[in-house]
Amino acid sequence: MLSSHRSHFCLVGTALAAAVSMGLLLVRALVDEDPLDWSWIVREINDELLTYGYVTGTTFLAGLVLGWLIGNKTDQLQTMSLIDPLTGLANRRGFRASTSTISNRSTIPSDTKQATPAFVTSPRAFARAVARFGGDEFVLVLPSTGALEAQELAKRIRQTLAAQAQIAQTNCNVSVSIGITDLRRAETVHGDALVAAADAALYRAKAEGRDRVVLSPEPSAAAQHMARPPPTHRNPGSRAGPA
């Protein structure tokens, strides 16, 4: 979720309005060489109520309006930095901001050649995050989905793209290369490392002829053995107790 800066800048604007009024009181006290205490402040405001009311009201409204405008523009710039303008999906920066740590999810980087991006966004209802990484590369994050389940969805994506190309009766050759990984295969919960593992599977799909789905390899037996906690051996003849 994008944080709203409008309320923050509006608060800053109203604080500046209060500071202007206090600054005017300070200047009057210095000019008149009067002690700046509460009795003088109350008397000064009562004597110049219209002046202080006008200054406070106008600066308050100006700070409120300018704060809203600046905050709104800041929100727009933040959105532009995180959203891909062509597809309306998250871009690489937005994807990394929302998936720095991923748990119980499967990641699918896909590479589409000569395919309309709208075709690829159809799995959005199933995915936690769909992002355009750049060019014709897209990434899907599927919650609580293993690699084999993600493989079935990836196959449906390929079939949908092929069917859409036939319906449109286009002469372009539509192909989709997809690499898949999950937490067990990638052995990590960090977003960048998980995407890197799926990206390696994607390049394997390209190297093997494109237009196919490739799973990242299973973790090696040695890696599984290293990750497994060592067994605890207990001597049957020994007994813990007071010395």
pLDDT score of 56 more than 50: yes
Query: pLDDT averaged over the chain?
Result: 75
More confident residue, 22 or 102: 22
pLDDT digits (tens, 9 = 90+) for 133-176: 878 888 888 877 888 888 888 888 888 887 877 766 667 777 88
- Hey, where are the domains in the chain? 6-82, 92-219
pLDDT digits (tens, 9 = 90+) for 91-138: 888 888 776 555 545 666 666 443 333 333 344 444 567 888 878 888
* Least confident residue range of 42-46, 59-63, 68-72, 235-239: 235-239
pLDDT score of 68 more than 70: yes
Just give the CATH number of 92-219.
3.30.70.270
- The whole-angstrom separation of Cα 59 and Cα 56 is 5
What is the reported pTM? Answer: 0.57
Q: Which of 105, 166, 93 is nearest to 131 (CA)?
A: 93
Contact 52, 21 (CB under 8 A): yes
Q: Which of 72, 71, 97 is nearest to 83 (CA)?
A: 97
pLDDT score of 25 more than 70: yes
Q: In this predicted structure, what is the pLDDT of residue 135? A: 83
- The whole-angstrom separation of Cα 155 and Cα 15 is 57
More confident residue, 54 or 117: 54
